[in-house]
């Protein structure tokens, strides 16, 4: 077979491999190994050294050892359940090879009498004689056995020997691919080729060598391929010519003038970037990223207003009805009366919904607010010019591209997230978008004082919140579980609600994920109107809801949350003009990492700094406090360990973009790293 430049071999089905049938294929697919290329990233965790052979007299019981022997005599008993034995020897002594459940024909084939055979396995001692039981490594060709054999995290049903045989078969047939990187990149990795790097990756002596040139080369390929795809999506979106939105900034400036606060420098800068996109002839595909309470919503609404004044409609989607309603109410308060706003809810009756959708399709509505329902097929817009999506951080590259396409060629897209993430992750997750960042907090927002408290000192916390309630303030009390668990030693909202209800009669509300949607709306409205003083809740209060009168948050079992999630929860308070407090409660048996997390939160209110520290402690796969969709799509690369390679890849992409380089040479790279479904037109 000609394997030159044959990258398609690596994308072949597993059944293309010799000795791999349907059963083995299904076992591998359970581990998400769907093709030959996937197998290359199942790295050895250790190895067994079978390279040195010993004489029988020198064998050590309990060790895995290799020995050259000559089979002398077969013993195949006719009594069921007795093992078959082959007496073997060398010049120093005798050893029995013992087989359970093996046929005579098979034994005679692998251990022919009088021939020198190499055998390797764990040595035991029985009735004054060495023995090897069911040896898997048996061959007349000693070179096949006398080597270091990798040990993998195996799928049940596949032996180490079989797995090694499969991997070695792939490495033997590994295609020699044309180099896709230029020399100025390759010099960082001592000019090692992809093919050679893969072979080095699987050598037993290289297990755990994460700083070697072969490993770093492959890490870079992963990062670079991701950035390349993102770059192409950005480029393709910018190729889409749209009708530029013509507007005067006088209308937005009138609203800014009437606000009871001043915009920060970051807000002004972000608004300018968005306005430039709106008024350009290329489609906007932008992420507005900001810390909790940094004022992203007002920037998005001002951009919406400019879009409306340019003759287009706007759609603003939020993950929950209460958050969508919050944005709707803010817009109603600040927008001029001639702007037609509507809010569509799951609770809206059929007649109301039908009326809203009809007005929307006739351009009698300028801006509509709602959840994902406003993007259903039956919802049509007369002239949609801007889609704003709040807190949709679970959207992956594919979904974002589909969303951009849905709006039509004249529709710009603005995504917002209040989850500050480290730069290396931003480059990975949102590299297909332009990014505006708001780090600065409004001057009116006071830093939230953060304290930690042992659960055994809960009486001190109760005294503190009694004082706060007396002063007219409100309190969030967050627990990780809905109900008590025998398996998990965590606090539950139901238990805490009953406890607090006894101490604060008629002042406590309960909210959790199982609360009916209609009841949830009532509870949140009651709390918002200050009819109750304490809201006991799970983490469902984490996303963007404003309760200006709530200035205390107590988070139980704080050590069970990630730093970024704790920071998001803490951001539910401090939205008014009062000083705010966050109390992190924990049990006495804290791990070192948990202590570190709590101390970082006590020392900083900067979400970006906190997210960097969170990633260092928790790893990038769980940076948001839950496994984010698509975030951990790397096999080798790590944004912490390989930060320099992320920067190198970013710079190389910029060079390619600026020089308008033909990227067809990256065909194999893109196809291998399974991104061709996103940009089929890369080649």
- Give pLDDT tens digits for 149-175: 998 887 777 888 888 889 999 999 898
Best CA proximity match to 335, nearest among 290, 382, 286, 369: 369
How do residues 75-90 score in pLDDT, each as one tens digit? Answer: 999 887 889 999 999 9
397 pLDDT more than 70: no
Look-up of token digits 């009698």 = 364
Poorest-pLDDT segment among 198-202, 461-465, 672-676: 672-676
Find the mean pLDDT for residues 290-316. Answer: 91
How do residues 174-233 score in pLDDT, each as one tens digit? Answer: 988 989 999 999 999 999 999 999 999 999 999 988 899 999 999 999 999 988 988 888
Separation of alpha carbons 128 and 419, rounded Å: 69
Helix (H) or strand (E) segment spanning residue 401: helix 397-406
pLDDT score for 200:
94
Find the mean pLDDT for residues 590-618. Answer: 78
648 pLDDT more than 90: yes
Residue 630's pLDDT band, with cuts at 50, 70 and 90, is: very low
pLDDT score for 92:
95
Question: For residues 168 and 174, is the Cβ–Cβ distance under 8 A?
Answer: no
Separation of alpha carbons 491 and 489, rounded Å: 7
pLDDT score for 202:
93
How do residues 90-118 score in pLDDT, each as one tens digit? Answer: 999 999 999 998 889 999 999 999 999 99
pLDDT score for 79:
84
Question: For residues 610 and 567, is the Cβ–Cβ distance under 8 A?
Answer: yes
Question: For residues 332 and 378, is the Cβ–Cβ distance under 8 A?
Answer: no
583 pLDDT more than 60: yes
679 pLDDT more than 70: no
Find the mean pLDDT for residues 619-623. Answer: 47
Find the mean pLDDT for residues 255-272. Answer: 91
* Mean of the per-residue pLDDT values of the chain: 85
291 φ, ψ (degrees, to nearest 5): -70, 165
Separation of alpha carbons 657 and 228, rounded Å: 10
427 pLDDT more than 80: no
Find the mean pLDDT for residues 39-54. Answer: 90
Residues 6 or more apart whose CB falls under 8 angstroms from that of 612 comprise 422
Separation of alpha carbons 653 and 664, rounded Å: 14
Separation of alpha carbons 89 and 65, rounded Å: 15
**Is the alpha carbon torsion for 397, 401, 402, 404 positive or negative?**
positive
pLDDT score for 488:
44
Percent of the chain with pLDDT over 90: 41
pLDDT score for 601:
84
pLDDT score for 221:
95
Q: How many CA atoms lie within 13 A of 655 on its CB side?
A: 11
Separation of alpha carbons 579 and 471, rounded Å: 12
Characterise 128 by phi-psi region: left (phi > 0), alpha (psi -120 to 50), beta (else): left
pLDDT score for 295:
86
Q: What are the angstrom distances between the C-alpha of 425 and each of 490, 617, 642?
A: 31, 15, 12
| Structural domains of the chain sorted by starting position, each given as residue range(s) with its CATH number in brackets | 1-45+160-176 (1.10.150), 51-146 (2.40.50.140), 179-239+644-683 (no CATH), 250-438 (3.40.50.300), 449-604 (3.40.50.300)
Residue 619's pLDDT band, with cuts at 50, 70 and 90, is: low
Residue 439 C-alpha from the chain's centroid? 23
Q: Is 339 helix (H, G, I), strand (E, B) or coil?
A: coil
**DSSP single-letter state for residue 381:** -
Q: Considering just the CA atoms, what is the radius of gyration of the chain in Å?
A: 32
Separation of alpha carbons 363 and 347, rounded Å: 23
pLDDT score for 392:
57
Q: Is 208 helix (H, G, I), strand (E, B) or coil?
A: coil
3 pLDDT more than 60: no
**Is the alpha carbon torsion for 436, 441, 442, 443 positive or negative?**
negative
Residue 491's pLDDT band, with cuts at 50, 70 and 90, is: low
Question: For residues 481 and 557, is the Cβ–Cβ distance under 8 A?
Answer: no
Separation of alpha carbons 645 and 633, rounded Å: 16
The DSSP result for 422-442, as a single string, is: -HHHHHHHSTTSEEEEE-PPP
pLDDT score for 426:
74
Find the mean pLDDT for residues 594-619. Answer: 77
Separation of alpha carbons 388 and 416, rounded Å: 7
Q: Which of 186-210 are b and which e, b meaning 16 or more Cβ less than 10 Å from the residue's Cβ?
A: beebeebbbeebbebbbebebbeee
Separation of alpha carbons 557 and 405, rounded Å: 43
Helix (H) or strand (E) segment spanning residue 265: helix 265-278
2 pLDDT more than 50: no
Residue 487's pLDDT band, with cuts at 50, 70 and 90, is: very low
Residue 581 C-alpha from the chain's centroid? 31
Pairing of strands 313-317, 367-370: parallel
Residue 638's pLDDT band, with cuts at 50, 70 and 90, is: confident
Find the mean pLDDT for residues 546-551. Answer: 83
683 pLDDT more than 60: no
pLDDT score for 340:
95
Question: For residues 225 and 673, is the Cβ–Cβ distance under 8 A?
Answer: yes
Find the mean pLDDT for residues 412-428. Answer: 79
| E-assigned strand segments in 556-608 | 581-586
676 pLDDT more than 60: no
**What is the pTM assigned to this prediction?**
0.71
Q: What are the angstrom distances between the C-alpha of 358 and each of 205, 352, 365, 378, 636?
A: 69, 10, 9, 11, 51
Task: Say how many C-beta atoms besides its own lie within 10 A of residue 118's C-beta.
Answer: 20
Task: Say how many C-beta atoms besides its own lie within 10 A of residue 589's C-beta.
Answer: 8
């Amino acid at each position: 077979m000609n394997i030159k430049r044959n990258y398609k071999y690596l994308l072949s089905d597993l059944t293309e491999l010799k000795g791999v049938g349907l059963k083995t294929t299904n076992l591998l697919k359970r581990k998400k190994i769907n093709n030959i290329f996937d197998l290359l990233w199942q790295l050895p965790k250790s190895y067994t050294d079978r390279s040195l052979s010993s004489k029988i007299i020198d064998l050590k019981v309990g060790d895995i050892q290799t020995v050259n022997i000559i089979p002398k005599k077969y013993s195949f008993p006719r009594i069921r359940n007795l093992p078959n034995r082959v007496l073997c020897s060398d010049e120093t002594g005798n050893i029995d090879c013992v087989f359970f459940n093996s046929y005579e024909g098979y034994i005679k084939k692998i251990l022919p009498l009088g021939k020198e055979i190499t055998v390797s396995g764990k040595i035991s001692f029985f009735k004054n004689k060495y023995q090897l039981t069911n040896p898997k490594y048996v061959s007349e060709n000693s070179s096949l056995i006398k080597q270091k054999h990798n040990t993998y995290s195996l799928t049940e049903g596949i032996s180490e020997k079989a797995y090694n045989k499969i991997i070695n078969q792939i490495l033997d047939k590994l295609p020699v691919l044309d180099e896709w990187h230029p020399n100025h990149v390759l010099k960082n990795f001592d000019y090692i080729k992809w093919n050679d790097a893969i072979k080095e990756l699987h050598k037993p002596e290289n297990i755990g060598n994460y700083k070697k040139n072969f490993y770093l080369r492959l890490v870079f390929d992963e990062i670079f391929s991701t950035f390349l795809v993102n770059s192409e999506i950005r480029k393709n979106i910018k190729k889409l010519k749209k009708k530029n939105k013509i507007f005067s900034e006088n209308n937005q400036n009138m609203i800014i003038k009437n606000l009871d606060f001043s915009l920060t420098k970051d807000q002004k800068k972000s608004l300018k970037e968005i306005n430039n996109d709106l008024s350009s002839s290329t489609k906007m595909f932008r992420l507005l990223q900001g810390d909790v309470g940094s004022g992203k919503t007002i920037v998005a609404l001002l951009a919406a207003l400019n879009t409306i004044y340019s003759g287009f409609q706007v759609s603003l989607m939020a993950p929950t009805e209460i958050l969508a309603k919050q944005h709707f109410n803010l817009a109603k308060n600040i927008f001029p009366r001639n702007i037609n706003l509507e809010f569509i809810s799951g609770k809206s009756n059929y007649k109301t919904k039908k009326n809203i959708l009809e007005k929307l399709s006739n351009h009698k509505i300028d801006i509509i607010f709602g959840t994902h329902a406003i993007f259903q097929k039956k919802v049509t817009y007369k002239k949609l010019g801007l889609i704003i999506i709040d807190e949709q951080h679970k959207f992956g590259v594919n979904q974002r591209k589909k969303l951009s396409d849905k709006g039509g060629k004249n529709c710009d897209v603005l995504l917002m997230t209040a989850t500050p993430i480290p730069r290396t992750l931003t480059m990975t997750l949102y590299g297909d978008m332009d990014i505006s960042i708001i780090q600065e907090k409004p001057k009116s927002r006071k830093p939230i004082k953060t304290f930690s408290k042992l659960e055994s000192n809960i009486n001190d916390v109760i005294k503190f919140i009694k004082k706060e309630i007396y002063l007219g303030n409100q309190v969030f009390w967050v627990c990780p579980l809905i109900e008590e668990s025998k398996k998990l030693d965590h606090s539950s909202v139901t238990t805490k609600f009953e406890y607090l209800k006894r101490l604060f009669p008629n002042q406590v509300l309960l909210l959790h994920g199982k609360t009916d949607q209609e009841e949830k709306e009532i509870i949140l409205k009651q709390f918002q109107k200050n009819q109750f003083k304490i809201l006991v809740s799970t983490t469902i209060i984490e996303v963007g809801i404003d309760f200006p009168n709530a200035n205390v948050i107590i988070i139980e079992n704080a050590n069970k949350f990630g730093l970024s999630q704790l920071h998001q929860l803490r951001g539910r308070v401090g939205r008014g003009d009062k000083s705010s407090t966050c109390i992190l409660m924990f049990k006495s048996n804290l791990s070192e990492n948990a202590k570190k997390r709590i101390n970082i939160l006590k020392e900083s209110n900067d979400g970006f700094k906190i997210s960097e520290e969170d990633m260092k402690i928790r790893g990038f796969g769980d940076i948001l406090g839950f496994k984010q969709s698509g975030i951990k799509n790397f096999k080798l690369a790590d944004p912490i360990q390989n930060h320099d390679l992320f920067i190198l890849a970013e710079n190389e992409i910029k060079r390619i973009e600026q020089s308008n380089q033909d990227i067809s040479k990256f065909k194999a790279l893109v196809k291998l790293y399974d991104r061709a479904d996103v940009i089929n037109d890369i080649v």
